[in-house]
Amino acid sequence: MKLHTIDTGFFKLDGGAMFGVVPKSIWNKLNPADENNMIRLAMRCFLIEDGNRLMLIDNGIGNKQDDKFYSHYFLHGEDTLEKSLNKKGFAMSDVTDMIITHLHFDHCGGSIKYNNDRTKFETAFPNAIYWISEDHWNEAKAPNPRERASFLKENILPIQESGQMKLVKKGDKIHDNIELLFSNGHTHSLMHPVINYKNHKVVYLSDMIPTMAHIPTAYVMGYDVRPLETMNEKTSLLKEAAEKNYVLYFEHDPFGEACLVAQTEKGIRKSEDVNVEEL
């Protein structure tokens, strides 16, 4: 088994929304805002190469939306999903398993693309199974008002129509070396793959803890549907991660991809940066 970091570029979101009740005087030192109060965030995915299987976790924002949509999120950087896969020696058609943590547009937008003449949508990974949480899928089809703008039908319905989708729930297996955890604070039934690799457990945090700056308990996004539940889920996971030396992988951190954590006088904090490809 080999692990690969897949960068799909950067975007920007409102810093206040990203840090919830934490004052700007504090979070601005961690991720400085621009003149529009927007902060830089990565869209970092994860590729697992194992024998004849090539498993990708999340796929960024994609490229099928119009200019007006993208203008709200200030996409920048040289990396794209396809470029990053190509740098590792792979094509989109090589991906056998597309694991989607949740169906917010910045995590699954790359799932679907236009066909060559831009008359219809098709899957971007023609040979992949699309693994999605069953409970989350049901939520995304009939979203609550708070999340409706994050669930775009063009990212979701074509997956079902393709016949490539497979729904999973707690206790199901995608691969012998991948466990599935689920959380409900950010969105209902967010899926967290945990990869068993070389005596390490690598936890793909997705939006439960989007950046290393969000490790402290109270640092919870304003986007979360159940912020108190996020705090409880973070507390439990971080305690276990500190005790068992888990590698925590961050999808949106603009500065680093992964770290270890340890108990300190101020609570659990980052103890060491990690490059997953060097484990």
DSSP assignment string, 70-89: HHTTT-BSS--HHHHHHHTT
Is the CB of residue 200 less than 8 Å from the CB of residue 247?
yes
Task: Name 90's Cβ contacts closer than 8 Å, sequence gap at least 6.
Answer: 47, 54
User: Does residue 226 belong to any structural domain of this protein?
Assistant: no
Q: What is the pLDDT of residue 113?
A: 97
Task: Name 256's Cβ contacts closer than 8 Å, sequence gap at least 6.
Answer: 212, 250, 273
Task: Name 155's Cβ contacts closer than 8 Å, sequence gap at least 6.
Answer: 62, 103, 105, 108, 109, 111, 112
User: Does residue 220 belong to any structural domain of this protein?
Assistant: no
Q: What is the pLDDT of residue 110?
A: 98
User: Does residue 10 belong to any structural domain of this protein?
Assistant: yes
Location of structure tokens 């030192």: 29
**Domain CATH code at residue 59:** 3.60.15.10
What is the token pair recorded at 119?
Answer: 């008359």
pLDDT band at 155 (very low <50, low <70, confident <90, very high): very high
Q: What domain range includes position 22?
A: 2-202
User: Does residue 76 belong to any structural domain of this protein?
Assistant: yes
Strand 129-133: give its sheet, edge to edge: 2-14, 38-50, 53-57, 97-99, 129-133, 165-168
User: Does residue 264 belong to any structural domain of this protein?
Assistant: no
Residue 63: strand pairing partners: none
User: Does residue 255 belong to any structural domain of this protein?
Assistant: no
pLDDT band at 237 (very low <50, low <70, confident <90, very high): very high
pLDDT (tens digit per residue) in 36-71: 999 999 999 999 999 999 999 999 999 999 999 999
pLDDT (tens digit per residue) in 14-45: 999 999 999 999 999 999 999 999 999 999 99
Helix (H) or strand (E) holding 195: strand 190-197
Domain count, the chain: 1
Secondary structure tally for the chain: helices H, strands E: 8, 14
Q: What is the pLDDT of residue 94?
A: 98
User: Does residue 68 belong to any structural domain of this protein?
Assistant: yes
User: Does residue 273 belong to any structural domain of this protein?
Assistant: no
Q: What is the pLDDT of residue 211?
A: 98
Q: What is the pLDDT of residue 61?
A: 97
| Percent with pLDDT over 70 in the chain | 100
Residue 197: strand pairing partners: 200
Q: What is the mean pLDDT of the chain?
A: 97
pLDDT (tens digit per residue) in 108-148: 999 999 999 999 999 999 999 999 999 999 999 999 999 99
pLDDT (tens digit per residue) in 183-197: 999 999 999 999 999
Q: How far apart are CA 223 and CA 149, in angstroms?
A: 11
DSSP string, 53-70: EEEEE---S-S-S-HHHH
Q: How far apart are CA 207 and CA 223, in angstroms?
A: 10
pLDDT band at 236 (very low <50, low <70, confident <90, very high): very high
pLDDT band at 256 (very low <50, low <70, confident <90, very high): very high
Phi, psi at 98, each rounded to 5° = -105, 105
Whole-angstrom CA distances from 72 to 36, 41, 55, 169, 211 are 11, 14, 30, 34, 21
Location of structure tokens 């740098």: 87
Q: How far apart are CA 19 and CA 222, in angstroms?
A: 6
